[in-house]
Amino acid sequence: MSSVLILVDGVNGQVAKSTGELATFAKRIGEVTAVVFDPSLIAGLTAFAIDKVVVVNGFDATKFSPAPIAETLAQLASAKQAKAVLVTSSARGKEVAGRLAVLTQSGVITDAIDVDADLITTQSVFGGSTTVHATVTHGCAVITLRSNSIEVLAGSGAPAQEEFTPTISDGAKLATVTSVEPAVKGGRPELTEATIVVSGGRGTNGDFKPVEAFADSLGAAVGASRAATDAGWYPHTHQVGQTGKTVSPQLYVACGISGAIQHRAGMQTSKLIVAINKDPEAPIFELADYGVVGDLFNVLPQATAAVAAKK
């Protein structure tokens, strides 16, 4: 059976959900081998559909940068004759993928939202207006996959475990991480990993309280349009869109957002889109699966109360 490597992500003993998504995609292709650099993440891997775990020894997990990770994956891909290596589409993941592709002289595909058993990937480009299918035609397929693109398959037992000590070149050691401090955040989930995102736009007129209250009732992350972040109503780190973050949650609720192409670029691949807008002609309704024509200051408190009543 073909071997597929996935790179495990996570911090402080918490395996990122995106790792479970990589395992789910990898399972379609062949035997799933998870490569883990941080031993604190090993226990969490039983939750996912992983056949084998390779624990990488030899360098401090808190100091690794993309270069030694790429060298390790290249050595493992060769040793296991891997058909593909799947990595999460984060900035770090894409750097690892690019370096790995050079080291293995393989093709690389980034920001895929799907990959099938024949390694045909799907990408959503040009603001979601175009769907591209592509495949790697040379070497071991190096593919980065966007978070929230697939429902995670549960694991069915403890995977077999082995250890691996890579040979890291001096060049790959030229940059090391000197410290890592998790960002101080509230109780809400991280925007790009959230299953539900509730976003506010210019229609909030600067008052995000109803948006936040509705998000909290659903355990959702809060996003914002650029009009809202440029106005200083919400932090730029929450901006969704072409020049903000790309999200692909199961549910995206756009509140007081018109649906400009640059906003769509960051949320168009959401599984279910709900729009609340007082203008029935707002372009967001062309994209939405469900729409409420109304004032968000009336609609959101009622929706929040309805969710609370169901709990």
Ligand X SMILES: Cc1cc2nc3c(=O)[nH]c(=O)nc-3n(C[C@H](O)[C@H](O)[C@H](O)COP(=O)(O)OP(=O)(O)OC[C@H]3O[C@@H](n4cnc5c(N)ncnc54)[C@H](O)[C@@H]3O)c2cc1C
Q: Which residues bind ligand X (CB under 6 A)?
A: 201-203, 225-228, 239-244, 256-258, 260, 262-263, 266, 276-279, 282, 295-297
Q: Backbone dihedral region of 127: left (phi > 0), alpha (psi from -120 to 50 degrees) or beta?
A: left
Nearer to ligand X, 68 or 266 (CB): 266
Residue 263 DSSP SS3: helix
**Nearest one of 141, 73, 59 to 107, comparing CA atoms:** 141
Q: How far is the CB of 289 from ligand X (least distance, A)?
A: 18
Q: How far is the CB of 125 from ligand X (least distance, A)?
A: 15
Q: How far is the CB of 239 from ligand X (least distance, A)?
A: 6
Q: How far is the CB of 146 from ligand X (least distance, A)?
A: 16
What lies within 8 Å, CB to CB, of 183 at 6+ separation is: none
**Nearest one of 134, 154, 152 to 142, comparing CA atoms:** 134
Q: How far is the CB of 193 from ligand X (least distance, A)?
A: 19
Nearer to ligand X, 16 or 220 (CB): 220
What lies within 8 Å, CB to CB, of 62 at 6+ separation is: 38, 177, 180
The Cα–Cα gap between 202 and 176 comes to: 42
Nearer to ligand X, 80 or 146 (CB): 146
Nearer to ligand X, 24 or 258 (CB): 258
Nearer to ligand X, 166 or 256 (CB): 256
Q: Tokens 């024949």 appear where?
A: 118
